[in-house]
Structure formats: structure tokens, C-alpha cells
Structure 1
Amino acid sequence: MKLAPLRSNAMRTLLFVFCVPLFFSAGTQQAAPPQGDPLPVPHYPAKPKPPTQTKTQKVANPLNDLLEEAQRDIDNKNFESAIAPLQRVIADQPEFAYAHFQLAYVYTALKRTDEARAEYTRTIAMDPKMSEAYLNLGILLLDKQESAAAVAPLRKAVDLLPSQSHPRYLLAVALDRSGDHAGAAEAFEALLHLDPSDATAINYLGWAALRGGKPAEAEGRFRRAMEVQPKEPGASKGLAESLDAQKKTEAAAAYRDYLGIMPNDSEARARLVHLLLEQNQSDAALAELDRLDAGKPPALESLKLRADVQVAGKKWDDSIATLQQALALAPNDAQLHGGLGRIFLQKRDFAAAEKELRTALRLDRENLGYWKDLSSTFFLGGNYPAALSTLDEIAKMEQPGAGVWFVRAICYDKLNQPKPALEAYQKFLALDQDKNPDQVWQARERSKVLQRMLERKR
């Protein structure tokens, strides 16, 4: 861990920046980056001034010699050796804040974090103006995943170092990790006042706007971030998602640009395929799927998406082959069987359609769509008794509409059952209210014929 070592007036002052990755909280499905995907963290070569020397720092030469010895050990990264001379100084001068700070720094380098934390706390109590102590304590707590505890010392470091960017950045990280996203956004806004080109801050505010349902504001943020860093993945993806959220047609191009930077983001490529499909660009969508599956066996979700694209392009045989390939991976997926059944129905292969739809219903009996497709399979295939039986099952789940009564009427009519056929035609006419003139005409004409047939039988 790289922290801020503090030295006396006779020594130079250094602050090594500890780079803390920033994680965005997970929001809606397409609003934020994937959990655990850090944005790049800038390096701030800040050099805070050493604290003003007090009386307790003007120690006798033997103690200065011990401090010099400890400093040489620190410079040479012999941190274990630096402990003894610093402890001797503290034993002689227990209120000497500088020695406590250096000891805390040494403990931090040795990953003795509990001891380092205690020494930073003592340093702050002795010298409340020592900005480096607050900063390093905050960094230590962030490293220990104690983000909420890190907020207070980092906020104090910001107060003491108002012109420096890095303390504000660390404060924003602590606030974000502790769940205070509004506070983190405020800290990043303040950071932008110091450095308007800080890409991390701009990106964070862009994602915050997108999560907050403000895609137009997010778009502006991400465009600015890309002006600063044109190939920054987070900004490129954010721009694509913000355009997507606004349903702008240029979202597809933005996803393509992002995938040029991050070609292995399968979720983004899948979203691009959906957008191309919505824009009726099925060939382009298939090309993107080919890129997604290049050099590896296609995943189940990729096969499902490919089938959707092929169906949209009315490539029935290709879609059948794709769904059969998917079923080899997931033989008990009701959706796959149902989709395959519907395609067979489209091709008027009624036997194959019935087989797949019955399998889908065995796996998901309450799926109304599968029942309706099965009833259509029977009706179009001329199996009117089975069609009526299936319509009876559907009626248990939803109230029959005008179209269902028209189909029932035809089934009864084909089966030479004039009484139920006439009743079904009459229910259709009452519900349809002349919305479908061709079917209304047919129902009226058949009703006349059926009425005469029933009268002759009396």
C-alpha cells in the first residue's frame, strides 16, 4: 500500500497515491456497468506541505539521529528496522505527532493495519491539522473495506487540502462504497470544479444520471468523457446505454463503437443484436451473432437469440436447425419446444408442431400461448374434435373472445353439429360488433343456413 510519508522540515515531503478502484452500484438491467467492473483510476501526484513544526518537533540531536535512522530504513523499504528507532523517539517524546505518523506509515507498509490505525488516530489527536494523517487513515480504512468509517477522515482531509483533487476522489469512493451515492455524486461534482477533465468523475456522474432515469443528462456526461478519453470503455458503454434508454437510432452505432474497444462484452453485443432486430436489420444482426460465437461453441442464450433473428427474417428451416441445436443443450426448456412448435405450425407441419407443443405443455402446463398454438395446430390440420377440446382447456384460463367463438363455430359446422355451431356464430356476432366484416358476413350467412337446417329437423 502506498501512503503519504511525512518528514521534518529538513526532509522532503512525499505523498504516494494509493489508487482505489471505484465500483458502481448495480442499478436497472440496462442502466449501469456490470457489478465488479472498475473504472480506471487516475494517479494524482499530489505533494501536501509538511505540518508546521511545533515545539515538540524541536528535539535534541540524539532523537534527530533516531529519526534520520528510521527515515533511511523507510527509504530503503526496511520497514521492520524502522520500528525500533521510532518507538525510542516516542518513548522519550510521547506527544510527538510526527513520530507517531511515521510509525503508522511503517505499520501500514508491513500490513499491520490495526496498529497503523491506532497510530494514525493518535497522530490526529495530537495534531488535528495534519492532513496527511487523515488522508492515510482514510486510505487504510478503504483498503480494509470499512468505507463508511473512511468518510469522516477523508472529509477532514478535503477540508485541510481544498485545492487537491485526490482527497476529493477518495472521499467520493468512500461515499459510493458506503451506499451514499448522492454524496458521492456531490463529491465528484466538487472534483470537477478543480479538474473539469477528470474522466472518472465525469463517468461516475454519467452513470449516476443514467441510474436516476436521466438518460439525456447521462449522454452529455459520457460525450464529455469521451472528449477527454476517446477510447475509455466505461464512457463508450455509457454513451451507448444512454442513447439506448432514449430509444435513439444511433444507439446501435454507439454499441458498435464500444464493441470495437471491448469486443468480448457478450451482453453488449447481444443488446446490439436486439437493436438491429428492432430495426429490421436481420442480416446485420446475424453477422453480430457470428462474431459473438466466433471460435467457440454457441451458448444457449446465443442460440435463442439467433433463432429470434432467423424467425424475424422468415428463415424457417434455419430457425428450426438452431432451436434443435439449443434443445440439445437444454432438452427440458419449455420455451424452446414451444417456439419450435410454432415454427412447425408456420410451415404447416402439423404433426411436428403437435409433438413439440405437447412437450412444451408437459413442461409448462399453465402457459396459455402453448395451448393457443396447439388449438391452431388442430384447427388448421382439420382435427376439429381436438381443436374444440383444446379450446375448452383455454376457456378454463381466460374468457373466450369473439375470435374463439368464430373458430368454435367453424369446428362445429365442419362436424355437422348445427345447433352448437349456430350458437357459436351468434356469440361471435354479439361480441365482434362488425369489427371484422368478412367474418361477420360469413357468420351471418352460415347462421341463415343453419337456422333453416334446424327448422327442417323439427
Structure 2
Amino acid sequence: MTSWIHSSLKLFPASGVLLVALSAYAQSAPLPPGTSIDDSNHGASSSSASPLTEAEAAIEAKEFDHARSLLDTFLSVHANDARALFDRGYVEDAQGHDEAAAGYYQKSIASDANQFEPRLALGLILARQGKAQEAHEQLEAASKLTPNPPNPAARAQALRALAQLDRIKDPDAAKQELLQALSLSPETPADTLLTGEIAEAEDDPVTAETAYRRVLNQQPDSSAATAGLAHVLIAQKKYSDAEPLIKTALARDPDDPALNTQLAIVLNAEGKQNEAISALEKLYSAQPNDAMIGGMLADAYTQSGAATKADPIYVQLLSKIPNDPDLLTARGENLIRQQRYLEAVTVLQKAVSLKSDNGNAWSSLAFAASETHQYQLEIDSLSARSKYLAETPATYFLWATAYDNLHHTKEAADYYHKFLTASNGGFPDQEWQAKHRLITLGK
């Protein structure tokens, strides 16, 4: 059966701080450059600098409607003015209008590709929208440009955002980007948290644990750092250390999904299945459309012997993602536990058609085929399984009984002997059957 503990560890990163961090970066984005530069250097629009400067003063005062009106009037005359286009995007960005803001930032970049500010701002919006590759392109370009006026903290902001994007897929690059950022501005707890995430991605649990504990020393209530430290401890199977840490954090933040998921993992690993299920039920009731949480709850029900409670969840998940081979395999195995073997055969056949290298799915299909007396399908499934997994006493017995039922005497006897050798007293009922069948077969 699929282990929900290990799969959830892979699916659930150390902390879900990327969007939070990027949103924070966006809130601290530098004000439009015109608020602190000499308008005489503005170039094409110098003769109309006064309305633009007035608009930027309105932005600084957070009078966004007034700034919008002034900028629209200005752009009606200077449609390609890069600075004014950035300012116009900033107005939309500050009011949470991501699409409109991105459009103006793109126009600003098209007008002057060497501006730092619109590239940073656009990169942050794209990152918040989950468009990682496009965001990376803009932020990388921004990191190589100079803000106007020069602003080391703003450039560090671009580097930190890059490091956030790179921390999983390219942790070495993320480390270098964070180091560059720290050379430009002081370290913050968010930087230390990011250090821990990068260390985890580099399979360096010692550095990761040190970083998370440093954050917690500075910010004891940091749920992100708690989740990160708990993730490290869970990976090291230090469940008794992780449990009180998570429960303390949940007392402050009872609805945090990362912490609740980790608590369920820890409780299950400690054999506290009822408590684990209770935690997952709470999560699932709050997030019924989350495939990972639903899959974990269904698997927990299955492992605890409540297969019938798991099945409706699998059905609901498959109605949304019908071609997920792992989900199909999990449901097929759950159907076997309910002794619904014919249905299991259909579901597992679809699973292996989508993912032919899943040895566990082939194992389950062979067993379901045996229970439905489809002996040739059983042999075909065992043959496919053998390409990916070693034989076990159980598979030897399945081979033997399938051949026996098909009256392939020689093959049946060979596998009964292999089963008896491998079993070595571990399966007394099946050993008794194998010995008596060998007598009957004269082998």
C-alpha cells in the first residue's frame, strides 16, 4: 500500500512562505522613481514634468484616485513614457489590481527595457500568480539593473525574490542570490527562514535545523519556522520531538494547514491513528477540494480498517482528476480491502494503463484477478510486476495457484517449490496447501 507519510513529506514543503514573502516584498516595493530624482533629467517629458511629479506626490500620499486621474491625463499626451507607465502600474498594484498593474509594467518595460522598477514589480506579480518561469526572467533582469535612484535595498529585494523562486529546484543558485542580497542589506528572520529551506533542499538537515531554531529564538510565534523545524524532525523520524513543537504552534494558530498536516503525520507514525484521523478530518472539512489532504484522509481510513469510509473520498477525488494513476491504485487497493474484487480489477487496469511501471499496482491487480478467477490476467500482471519488483513468498504462491488452476502442472509445481523455499514457515496455511497440491500433482 502507498505510504501517506512519505508521500506527504514530499508533497508538503518545509513551509509555505513563498507567497507570503513575495507579497511582503510587493508591499515594500520602492515608490516611483520620480519622487526623489531631478525632473530635469527626465528626458522626453521634462517639459511636462510638473503634472508627473504631482501624480507621484499623490502616490506617495496614497491618494491613488487622484494619481490615476493625473497619470491618465499625462499618458494621453505621452503614451510611451516609461516612467509614467510604471507609475500608472504602481497605482493599480497598490490597490491589488494585479492584471491591470502587470499590463502597465509590461508597457513600461517595452518603452525602456533598462528600468529596474517595473521589472521588479512585474516579477513579484508573476510570482504571486504562480508563473515562476516568467517571474524568474523579470527578477533576474532586475537584479542586474540599477534602481533609480540607486537603492541597494531594492536590488536586494529582487535577489531575495529570486532566491525564493530557486530554493527548491536550484538551491545552489538560491544560496548565492541570498548571499548577494545579504551583502546589500541586513539579514532578517525571513532570510534565516529561507536559509533553512535552501539547506533542506540541499539535503543538509543540520544547517536547516539550526536556521529554523534561530528564527524561533527571535520569533517564537513563527508558524513557518515551526513547520520548517517540524519537517526536519519528521524526516529524521524524531516524532516525539516534533509533536509538542507542532501542538504548541497549533495552540496559537489552530487552522494552519501545514501544521495540522504535520501533526497528522506525526500521530500516525506514533501509532495514534484515531488522533491522526481526527486531525485530517478537521483539515478535510475546511479544504474538501484539496487532493493531497483528501488522499491522506482516505489512506488513513484504509490503513485503520475503515475502508468503506475511504471510498467516497476516493470517488470524489477521481471525479476531479480521473487519470491520476496513484489515486487509481489507492482506490483499487481500498476496493480489495472491501472485497469488491471485480471493481478493483477495472480500476487497477486503468491505473497500470496510465503508469505501467507501478509494481505495486500490478501486485494488487494480480491479487484481484486471482480472487475473480481471471488466472491468465493474474499471470500477465505478475509478469509485468516482475519487471519492477522482486518476487516474494506471496507472489510465488499467486504464480503457483494461477498455473494450477490453468492446469499447467509443471509450472505450478515449480512455483509451489519456490514458495515453500521462500516462505520458510512464515505462511503455515498456504504451506499446507502447497504441500498437498504437490502430492496431488505428483511433484
What TM-score bracket applies, with the shorter chain setting the length? 0.5 to 0.7
Which deviations, in whole Å up to 9, do the C-alpha atoms of 1:368-387 show, x marking residues without a partner?
Answer: 54443343235456x3xx23
Alignment-derived partner of residue 54 in structure 1: none
Which deviations, in whole Å up to 9, do the C-alpha atoms of 1:223-271 show, x marking residues without a partner?
Answer: 2223323334443333333434444323344444555565555455334
Alignment-derived partner of residue 353 in structure 1: 341
Amino acid at match of 2:267: L
Secondary structure, counterpart of 1:314 in structure 2: coil
1:270 paired with 2:261, answer yes
Alignment-derived partner of residue 313 in structure 2: 322
Question: Shift of the alpha carbon at 1:310?
Answer: 0.8
Which deviations, in whole Å up to 9, do the C-alpha atoms of 1:135-194 show, x marking residues without a partner?
Answer: xx977874576655556757x97xxxxxxxxx66445324334566444433565689xx
2:367 to 358, 365, 376: 376
1:210 paired with 2:194, answer no
Amino acid at match of 1:356: A
1:398 paired with 2:398, answer no
Between the aligned partners of 1:259 and 1:419, the Cα distance in structure 2 is 62
1:38 paired with 2:21, answer yes
Q: How does 1:122-141 map to 2 (within 5 A)?
A: none
Secondary structure, counterpart of 1:294 in structure 2: helix
Secondary structure, counterpart of 1:33 in structure 2: coil
> Higher helix proportion, which one?
2
Between the aligned partners of 2:58 and 2:397, the Cα distance in structure 1 is 90
The question of whether the paired residues in 1 share the 8 Å contact of 2:400 and 2:413 is answered with yes
Q: How does 1:13-24 map to 2 (within 5 A)?
A: none
Amino acid at match of 1:173: Q
Q: How has the CA–CA distance of structure 1 residues 296 and 151 changed in structure 2, closer, same or farther, with 3 Å as cutoff?
A: closer
The question of whether the paired residues in 2 share the 8 Å contact of 1:323 and 1:340 is answered with yes
1:186 to 160, 170, 179: 179
Alignment-derived partner of residue 273 in structure 2: 282
Amino acid at match of 1:205: T
Q: How has the CA–CA distance of structure 1 residues 310 and 190 changed in structure 2, closer, same or farther, with 3 Å as cutoff?
A: same
Amino acid at match of 1:243: L
The question of whether the paired residues in 2 share the 8 Å contact of 1:337 and 1:356 is answered with no
Q: Which ranges in structure 1 are unaligned for 5 or more consecutive residues?
A: 1-26, 44-69, 80-106, 114-136, 158-166
The question of whether the paired residues in 2 share the 8 Å contact of 1:337 and 1:360 is answered with yes
Between the aligned partners of 1:407 and 1:416, the Cα distance in structure 2 is 14
Alignment-derived partner of residue 422 in structure 2: 432
Q: How does 1:338-349 map to 2 (within 5 A)?
A: 338-347=329-338, 349=339
Between the aligned partners of 1:359 and 1:175, the Cα distance in structure 2 is 48
The question of whether the paired residues in 2 share the 8 Å contact of 1:175 and 1:183 is answered with no
TM-score under structure 1 normalisation?
A: 0.55
The question of whether the paired residues in 1 share the 8 Å contact of 2:162 and 2:177 is answered with no
Alignment-derived partner of residue 190 in structure 2: 200
Q: How has the CA–CA distance of structure 1 residues 316 and 216 changed in structure 2, closer, same or farther, with 3 Å as cutoff?
A: same
Amino acid at match of 2:229: L
1:176 paired with 2:160, answer yes
TM-score under structure 2 normalisation?
A: 0.56
The question of whether the paired residues in 2 share the 8 Å contact of 1:357 and 1:374 is answered with yes
Alignment-derived partner of residue 231 in structure 2: 241
Between the aligned partners of 1:330 and 1:177, the Cα distance in structure 2 is 32
Between the aligned partners of 1:265 and 1:419, the Cα distance in structure 2 is 60
Between the aligned partners of 2:314 and 2:142, the Cα distance in structure 1 is 53
The question of whether the paired residues in 2 share the 8 Å contact of 1:310 and 1:316 is answered with yes
Alignment-derived partner of residue 162 in structure 1: none
Which deviations, in whole Å up to 9, do the C-alpha atoms of 1:62-90 show, x marking residues without a partner?
Answer: xxxxxxxx9xx98x9489xxxxxxxxxxx
Q: How many aligned positions are there?
A: 331
Question: Shift of the alpha carbon at 1:283?
Answer: 1.8
Question: Shift of the alpha carbon at 1:361?
Answer: 0.7
Between the aligned partners of 1:326 and 1:372, the Cα distance in structure 2 is 23
Between the aligned partners of 1:299 and 1:317, the Cα distance in structure 2 is 20
Worse overlay, 221-230 or 412-421: 412-421
Between the aligned partners of 1:78 and 1:309, the Cα distance in structure 2 is 56
The question of whether the paired residues in 2 share the 8 Å contact of 1:337 and 1:357 is answered with no
Q: Which ranges in structure 2 are unaligned for 5 or more consecutive residues?
A: 1-9, 29-49, 60-80, 88-114, 124-137, 164-172
Alpha-carbon RMSD across the aligned residues, in angstroms, is 4.8
The question of whether the paired residues in 2 share the 8 Å contact of 1:341 and 1:354 is answered with no
Amino acid at match of 1:223: R
The question of whether the paired residues in 2 share the 8 Å contact of 1:300 and 1:329 is answered with no
